[in-house]
Amino acid sequence: MAGGGAIVRFFKRLQGALYETVLPAPHYLQGEEVQLVIHMADYRQVASQIMLRVGLVLAGVAAPLTLIFWLLQVETLIEYITGLLALLGLLLLVQGGQGWLTYHQWQFILTNKRIIITTPDPKRSLRADVIYLKGGKIQVLDTNFSKNPLWGLLQMLTGARDVVLSMSGYEFKEVGAEVKGGLRFPDVPPEEISRLEELIFK
């Protein structure tokens, strides 16, 4: 019985470690108060949920039909169509899952003591990092349209923007200015940009 309890505790620790790697939770100091939490715009989460649901329906219906046709060795146009729909469903499930994960990994938290940012790890897929900033101060908050045409269109319709945050300031060039060493936070709603400006530059 004791051995079973040890196995359960081991798997709970493993589950916690995996969860912390993929969706890390910030650790707060004693007396630290959260003033603002920014996530990506809601349409990011809605888009991923739609892809997941459509993908689940397509894969759940088309994959068994394709398997049945394959087992019966029926080579018809319908078999190829169901196969393509099953493949499309799997692709939507992967894309929707990645979108859901990205939405939950991006977080900007401003407290009375520091800035906390959680971001996807650019070098390791599916993982996220927590960045704690205390000593420095954000010098630049620059807003831009997304480089992705779909998100850029939704930004035009909703007023959301990609926000570039930098502690280094601008680098001036002949043709304009460019943010130095900036972190791009995608799809920030307009009301949260305004609130962020107030809290950072007050």
> pLDDT tens digits for 25-38?
888 899 999 988 99
Residue 2's pLDDT is 52
pLDDT of 15: 62
Q: Considering the domain boundaries, does residue 125 fall inside one? A: no
- Establish if 117 belongs to a structural domain: no
CA distance 51 to 63: 17
Is residue 93 domain-resident?
Answer: no
Q: What are the b/e assignments for 107-124, b being 16+ CB within 10 Å?
A: bbbbbeebbbbbbbeeee
| 90 found inside a domain | no
Q: Determine contact, residues 51/94, Cβ cutoff 8 Å.
A: no
Task: State the pLDDT at residue 200.
Answer: 80
Q: Give the containing element (helix H, strand E) for 171.
A: strand 170-173
- What pLDDT was estimated at residue 51? 96
Name the residue range of residue 144's domain.
136-202
Instruction: Note whether residue 157 is domain-resident.
Output: yes
pLDDT along the chain (202 residues), means of 10: 64 65 84 91 94 93 82 76 89 94 91 88 80 77 90 93 84 70 88 88 76
Phi-psi region of 128 (alpha: psi -120 to 50; beta: other; left: phi over 0): beta
Domain count across the chain: 1
189 domain residue, yes or no: yes
pLDDT at position 11 is 63
Residue 146 placed within a domain: yes
Residues pairing with 120 in the sheet: 128
